[in-house]
Structure 1
């Protein structure tokens, strides 16, 4: 009997989708505000910071929600660890690419929008429809 049950839900039906959507929207709005207030370089630097926060989280969501069901518990735990390791590596690589390949770059806007997009996950329980706590 197969212990790994692949999740057949489309991406927009995953429980984490509202968090990823909110993270993308916060990144776009923050980059727009920074662009309007401080200019083009700061604007695209902020957008890059938001993308650096968002892309690794999409990768983690893909890895973490790949399996479902009680029989796939070990596969789910392994997927969480692999997703988190990949997320950290991807974040480091994207930062390295941004600093090496984007000239000129506004580091304050980049890190500010990155941190703002990451802070969306603090409010994730409010954005998710599925409640994991007992009533």
Structure 2
């Protein structure tokens, strides 16, 4: 199952509202469960470089079924996923990418956000995912 266009648009609208509340301009991407772009929004004056980063954050989250910030912790030198950002035509392993999980616990896509601090990126992505009222991620052996 994939995230629907209605869900993607709802997530983008909620994420955009959070970005406005934070006073920042963001690029917001939603990918389906295969990592294919479903919907995208670039706010006025958002950095051009954030287009690619937001999409890669969403892809990273869906490819590995966990928030990009968690992958970042695992990919530090000496970590079990060190170097992973060089796979899959480039991944982004800092906060701002979150999987979207449906009410049955099935991952249906992901949201990726870029354009501000990683704390703001994560908060904006969280707002997008939260608006869908989806389940928490199931346990995964790599999660900390």
Larger helix proportion of the pair: 1
TM-score range, shorter chain: 0.3 to 0.5
Q: Which has the higher contact order (CA 8 A, sep 6+)?
A: 1
Larger radius of gyration: 1
